[in-house]
Chains A and B, each alone.
Chain A
């Protein structure tokens, strides 16, 4: 270890100190992508355990952003900028994690249901789920139930459904029914969207409901066995 530190000191690279980790946390919250990229690059060059950095600094920063949004302290554009800054760091870390035995928190697929072309809410959830460490497959809009089933066959254990219209929300019921008919009770279904309520989620037999993007992350976590 001493030898490693000597080598890092010799190359001018060191692991991030607590001040720099605080700076990284703040940079994500404030949406300063360049700062995030610089610090994460420095961390990688300094031999930092990036998995630990992700879990202990970056994901909590995005959780803080979500909390601030839920409390009404920030607006959607600020959350967007923060998520993009976070993504700047993840883009650097991801190839490193891919070469290790790193497992994502969980594999989640998401889409706007059949007949619904709105993607604004779904995309916010995608950003927040990625920021929370999930592997996310974005199936897009107007997604037929069969596509969600295929994603489940590929190992996605949580399916998130989005709908923005009162007239398209019934397509969620079809997806839930098809999963149950196929005996895929191992797959958890989370629903959300402007017209969706907890009562409706209960009515159609969904496993959880998220009222906004940060709450969707909470809802996804709530259906996972580990409460990741």
Chain B
């Protein structure tokens, strides 16, 4: 049975605040398993790296206010109509942010470049963990259905990021949009933010070829 969000929820933004501790736990584990850290964490650099990672974790725990939003946009809107979902699919938009500014993190870390670099790497993994939470949250509205993420590639030659499209979709979350904005160059502010476009395919429907 296709459950989905009720039709009257179209255009309604669901909001969630997320606890940082479990996200950081997941992020630390994934970072530590990366090849770039596996060997260094067994070398003479291990003590410095471990201490740096602890500081990075403390910094994120102190500054982050993870928030997420989920939205079933009106399919008749031009921003939504331009998405590449296939016939019969429902499009969902997910937005999440760690809710803190990189420059604040740099200051919190006493402008220590190594610790700040580690904080950036850990924050990225934390954001991805939050992004997975958003996908799971979306999936919970559509039990048994298949979800896939859509890329928003730009029209301009070589652009991997369509700034105008992202700006248009961000506007659907309202004027606040979890405090996430775009710079004129299309960079999220705060930096650690994700906009996810998810297509939900009804059970039993085959993908278009």
Q: Residues of A at under 8 Å CB distance from B?
A: 30-33, 74-78, 80-85, 87, 113-120, 123-124, 126-127, 140-142, 165-168, 170-171
A-B interface contact total, Cβ < 8 Å: 107
B137 within 8 A of A: no
Chain A nearest Cβ from B206, distance in angstroms? 34
B154 within 8 A of A: yes
Do the beta carbons of B191 and A118 come within 8 Å of each other?
yes
Do the beta carbons of A117 and B189 come within 8 Å of each other?
yes
Do the beta carbons of B184 and A127 come within 8 Å of each other?
no
Chain B nearest Cβ from A201, distance in angstroms? 15
B207 within 8 A of A: no
Binds A, one of B12-20, B76-84, B158-166, B195-203: B158-166
Chain A nearest Cβ from B43, distance in angstroms? 7
Q: Residues of B at under 8 Å CB distance from A?
A: 35-37, 39-40, 43-45, 48-49, 52, 102-103, 106, 112-114, 116-118, 120-121, 154, 158-161, 163, 183-189, 191
Do the beta carbons of B154 and A81 come within 8 Å of each other?
no
Do the beta carbons of A167 and B161 come within 8 Å of each other?
yes
Do the beta carbons of B158 and A81 come within 8 Å of each other?
no
Contacts of A171 in B (CB 8 A): 185
Contacts of B40 in A (CB 8 A): 74-75, 77-78, 81
Do the beta carbons of A142 and B44 come within 8 Å of each other?
no
Q: Given known contacts A81-B45, A141-B103, A167-B163, is B114 in contact with A116 (CB within 8 Å)?
A: no
A33 to B161, CA, bound (A): 41
Chain B nearest Cβ from A124, distance in angstroms? 7
Closest to A200 in B: B158
A26 to B37, CA, bound (A): 20
A114 to B183, CA, bound (A): 9
Do the beta carbons of A75 and B35 come within 8 Å of each other?
yes
Contacts of B113 in A (CB 8 A): 80, 83-84, 87, 123, 126-127
Q: Given known contacts A30-B44, A31-B44, A120-B120, is B37 in contact with A77 (CB within 8 Å)?
A: yes
Chain B nearest Cβ from A12, distance in angstroms? 28
Instruction: Give the residue of A33, A76, A117 whose beta carbon is less than 8 angstroms from that of B48.
Output: A33
Instruction: Give the residue of A80, A81, A87, A114 whose beta carbon is less than 8 angstroms from that of B184.
Output: A114
Instruction: Give the residue of A75, A85, A167 whose beta carbon is less than 8 angstroms from that of B154.
Output: A167
Q: Given known contacts A31-B45, A166-B154, is B186 in contact with A80 (CB within 8 Å)?
A: no
A81 to B114, CA, bound (A): 7
Contacts of A167 in B (CB 8 A): 154, 159, 161, 163, 185-187
Contacts of A119 in B (CB 8 A): 102, 106, 116, 120
